[in-house]
Structure 1
Amino acid sequence: MDPERIRAVEEWLPPQDIHQLQVFLGFANFFRRFIKNYSQIAAPLLNLLKTGKNKKEIGVKVRQTNIVPPPFPLSKTALEAFKALKEAFTSAPLLRYFDENKPMRVETDASAFAIGGILTQQFEIDGHLHWLPVAYYSKKLLYTETQYGTGEQELLAIVEAMHHWQHYC
């Protein structure tokens, strides 16, 4: 990444209002495929956009009286998420280019509120074969999906990852 852009991200101040949070998350979302466990890292910030009784209404709709804007300054958890995302943007991505002639492997995982996967391929480095990441995928679970059992969430992670990377097959 361009050193000037890295410096700009490093100097990015924590959001002080909902608009600044949306700008940062828009930037983050553009680069999400390069960040391992993006959905899990970004969850505390994404949750700030949700307010209202069922946490389903977006906080931007401030004209309606039943919606309260999210708390600012950021909570400790949200600030840690902000810093973790900034760190992920400024560290060099270790992704390799996909090579259709190399074997590939999909690794997935599920947590209480997110699923993710890594598409890896075998590359030779110094005479040894290593499985290295080609792409990352993550998704925050819907409320109904958080109610699934562990096995169902793990299977959902596999299905979603395979669907996401179907163009590689």
Structure 2
Amino acid sequence: MDQEKLATILDWPLPSSLKQLHRFLGFCNFYRRFIPKFSELARPLTELTKEGNFNSDNIQQLGPRASFLALKRCFSAAPLLHHFDFELSRTVHVDSSGYAVAAVLSQPDQAGKLHPVSFYSQKLTDRERGWAIFDLELLAIVEAFEQWRAWLMGTTEPVQVYSNHSNLCHFTTAKNLTPKQARWASFLDGFNFVILHIAGKANPADAPSRRPDLLGEGPLIPTQAIARRMVSVNDVGGIIPSKSFNLYDLHFQRPTQELLDYFIKNYDKVSQDERKALTERDKILWFQDWIFVPSTLRTRIIQLFHDAPTVGHPGIARTLALVTRSFSWPGIRKDIIRFRRVRLDHGGGGFTQ
């Protein structure tokens, strides 16, 4: 088997946080039925997920390291991995994390169970990180079809492409495309495929797109990229009334020092009780791998993601998924439910917390 097709898995670094460990084990769990004695093989790692067991020393012990390497090796051979067969249907799962895209090409066995054939992941450039979620998810599809062009072209049966971004399902019939989207549509027009929606938790491409080494140096959202990450969901200029919050009175094409200074200043107002459960890095408070949002900013964060034109006023579950990609705070779901209820009561108007 060509090792390049497995590099996404074989190059996966040893988890350095509990969240990273959960993500890796969750990915392996997609394929546990194809991994003999999976529970026994994964036990040294699953033990570390129990409360208080994970730390930087324990993950480096022989047992967890051997378990991690053994699980990765399972992806390079049968019964899990299959060689590509031109006679079988093709299924592609794609995802974008905001800093990388990933895809998994699979084919069914005789029982109809999907086996991976090839994996792909690619770190986003600084320019791409500023794109809207819709474009990033579409980029993942384009990259997958470019990577596996020889295997996906000329199929009589449509290639099933799964994404957790439901708006992509209508891309092939969309009329109003940006120049970039039009170029991609022209390229994809040479393939026979259909885009289908899948929940993020059921998407095997989700974890590979969030491999910690693809992020690069520093925390999950580097300080210098906070402003870009907050507004990269879409082109939000003008959708937030300027009188409501001067954080959004700027042009958001790139983070400015004024915006970063304002953001840091607000985080300094978080109470000491809240700080006890948090860590501070680069003058920003973090809850594990999420940026912690103090009460003064929570409504605005929800409003930013909920009102994004490219996501079309999502429901509670989708808004929660968008916000929690980067941010966290106690009672986040209740706040989103309250936000939605007030919006409905006021016919879509905003409110001040």
TM-score, normalising length: structure 1:
0.49
Higher-Rg structure is 2
TM-score, normalising length: structure 2:
0.25
Q: Which has the higher contact order (CA 8 A, sep 6+)?
A: 1
Greater per-residue strand proportion: 1
